[in-house]
Amino acid sequence: MKYKNIPFLVVFLAALLFTSCDEHDGGASSAVIGAADAPASEPVAEAPALPPEPEETVVKGKVSSGNTAASILKKWLSPSEVYAFAGACTPVYDLTRIRVGNTWQVATLDEEFTRFEYAIDSDSYLEVSRDGEDYTAIVKPIAYDVRMERVTGSIRTSLYGAMTEAGEKPELAVRLGNLMGWEIDFIHDLRVGDTFSVLVEKRYSGNVFKGYGRILAVAFTNQGELHEAFRMEDADGSGEYYAPDGRNLRHVFLKTPVAFTRISSGFTLRRYHPIQKRYKPHYGVDYAAPTGTPIYAIGSGTLKRVATNNSSGNHILITHGNGYESGYLHMSRFARGMRTGRKVKQGDLIGYVGSTGLATGPHLCFRMKIHGKPVDPTKIDTPRAGSIDATQKEAFSRIMAQYRPQLLVPVARPAASPRRPRADSFSHAAEIPPAALPGAKLLPDPIPTG
């Protein structure tokens, strides 16, 4: 009797268990079905696409013969706008001085003018920007990556040849020749096996070479004798070059006014003139060079004459004071701004080699007079600038100590020889490549400067 109802109990418990499971499963199913039957939510509207940002367009060009600022800008600016543009430039830069060959760039947004940039020279550029109807002009320095590098070479044929063999530009050969020209006679005394070491600043845009900066120090061994030069700067940034004993290497005049291939005719009292077919004095030195090679004032002074005639062609005479006068004949053209009465400084560009007047080919006939008497330009000895000031000697000693460890590392050279390498030449006929204009955001390309 005790276990009589056990089967019934088992059946009851089993029924209860299955009922609980069904309710659990059914609840879960109901939740899923409820979610599926819920009304769908409204789709979220996408935000409208923003219009693309306007892109800056840059147009590049070079100043051509006959170009003016107005002719360059007429595509983008009306005459009245050009007038306002020029008015903004007047206080900072004379637009009539733009040079053939220099580059310009115009930036636009949606075909509307925003900015103009013009390469003035290797150190600066003009930027003119527009904001509405207003123009702002400013002359900006060029941002260079400046690196001091050592350039070395050994003379085989000429200073120019050695410099190009070292992978450098003719400009550096000319600068070195003028810097050391009163210490070393590059026309007569250069020998095969002579060596040079130059510490010079090089300007880069990224890793692209854009030109030379300052020459900081030079060591030149000529016929076994070491000549050194170190740059010492004043507070205003101007510099002079001194020998280790404090002598100033700068003279009143440059050694030569032009980069030349050879002396085609020297100073003489009796020369057979190739055009006039008779003997007559030749009171100058003829430096052969290609048409267009730059000519520089050998010293500071005043332009006594800027003229043209049948004999001398385009020519310039400069008076330098103390009875000195220099003459530059047969130019192809004058540099911009040359006019009688204007003052020039040593090294200023005054013109370009040509063959105007009585000339059989491109060359510069260079003449010198002292108190009205013609003299041989290759044989005059002019005064030096002042020696280093006593108060600067300690600072100068520190400069020498800084540069000499790099400067005086021995330079590999060929076997020494007493023969002269192209004795009438220290450079080459190729026109000095103009400096480049790096750094400006719209001016990444090389910019001719002359």
- SS3 of 311-348: the string is CCEEEEEEEEECCEEEEEEEEEEECCCCCCCCEECCCC
* Rounded CA separation 34/175 (Å): 93
Domain 262-375 top-level CATH class: mainly beta
How is domain 56-141 classified at the CATH fold level? Nuclear Transport Factor 2; Chain: A, (3.10.450)
**Residue 418 pLDDT more than 90?**
no
Using CA atoms, how far residue 323 sits from 327, 375, 385, in Å, is 13, 12, 17
CATH topology of 56-141 equal to that of 262-375? no
Whether residue 448 is predicted with pLDDT greater than 70 in this model: the reply is no
Residue of 240, 183, 163, 201 whose CA lies nearest to 432:
163
Q: Residue 383 pairs with which residues in a beta bridge?
A: none
Longest Cα pair distance anywhere in the chain, in angstroms?
Answer: 166
Residues near 227 by beta carbon (within 8 Å), at least 6 away in sequence: 180, 183, 184, 218, 219, 220, 221, 243
Predicted confidence (pLDDT) per residue in 20-52, tens digit: 444 444 444 444 444 445 555 566 666 677 777
Least confident window among 250-264, 339-353, 380-394: 250-264
Please state, in angstroms and as integers, the Cα–Cα distance from residue 321 to each residue in 255, 286, 303, following that order.
Answer: 18, 24, 12
pLDDT at 437 over 50: no
Tens-place pLDDT, residues 60-106: 999 998 899 999 999 999 999 999 999 999 999 999 989 888 999 99
CA distance 408 to 163: 18
Could you say which DSSP state residue 45 is in?
A: P
- For residue 300, what pLDDT is reported? 92
What tokens does 249 get?
A: 């290497």
The answer to whether residues 176 and 153 touch, using CB atoms and an 8 Å cutoff, is no
**pLDDT at position 73:** 96
Q: What percent of the chain has pLDDT over 90?
A: 49
Cβ atoms of residues 104 and 117 within 8 Å: yes
Residue 435 has pLDDT above 90, yes or no: no
Domain spans of the chain?
56-141, 145-250+384-407, 262-375
208-257: pLDDT as tens digits: 898 899 999 999 999 999 999 999 987 667 789 999 999 999 888 888 88
- The helix/strand/coil state of 305 is strand
pTM (2 decimals)?
0.62
% of residues, the chain, pLDDT over 70: 76
> Element (H or E) spanning 197, and its range?
strand 195-205
Q: Which fold has domain 145-250+384-407?
A: Nuclear Transport Factor 2; Chain: A, (3.10.450)
Specify whether the CB–CB gap between 319 and 392 falls below 8 A.
Answer: no
pLDDT (tens digit, 9 = 90+) per residue, 284-295?
899 888 898 889
Q: What does DSSP assign to residue 184?
A: S
